[in-house]
Amino acid sequence: MKITERVWALAQPVVERHGCKLWDVEYVREAGEWYLRLLIDKDGGVSINDCVDISREMDPILDREDPIETSYRFEVCSAGLERPLKRPSDFETFLGADVLVKLYRPLNGIREYPCVLRGYDNGDVTVEYAGETMTFTKSQVALVRLRADF
């Protein structure tokens, strides 16, 4: 089992006990250090207290279960307004939302498409862009994230 899957299983009940939803678990290397992050969401928004409370409850669980052999920094934070969509359920939840689709290679000279999410099927993403419906294949899409225009 991958580290992120193991941590997800440990964290989900804790996060839900605090009235939040576990959005994602990341285990990434940044600036020469490893980070384990719980990204959480909550109706009405995540507060700093939500992050602190979940972090405090998770610390002893992570110490006891020891899912990562090397040293790392542990963080609990909001998934954010412009969170990436990764799982089929993410795409289903945000059908009709403003998104940004980033491609591995430009298509028609464009690499980033600010658009509206219209569908998702086994990795293929259908959007509305400039009044037209377009479908990007899984192999074309580097990232899809929510887009918040202010």
3-78 has CATH 3.30.300.70 classification: yes
For the chain, which residues make up each domain, given as ranges? 3-78, 88-146
Q: What region, left, alpha or beta, does residue 16 occupy, with left being phi > 0 and alpha being psi -120 to 50 degrees?
A: alpha
pLDDT value at position 149?
Answer: 81
Confidence at residue 109, expressed as pLDDT on a 0 to 100 scale: 96
Q: Which CATH class is domain 88-146?
A: mainly beta
Q: How far apart are the C-alpha atoms of 45 and 19, rounded to whole Å?
A: 11
pLDDT mean values, one per 10 residues, the chain (150 residues): 95 98 96 96 96 98 94 96 94 96 96 97 97 97 93
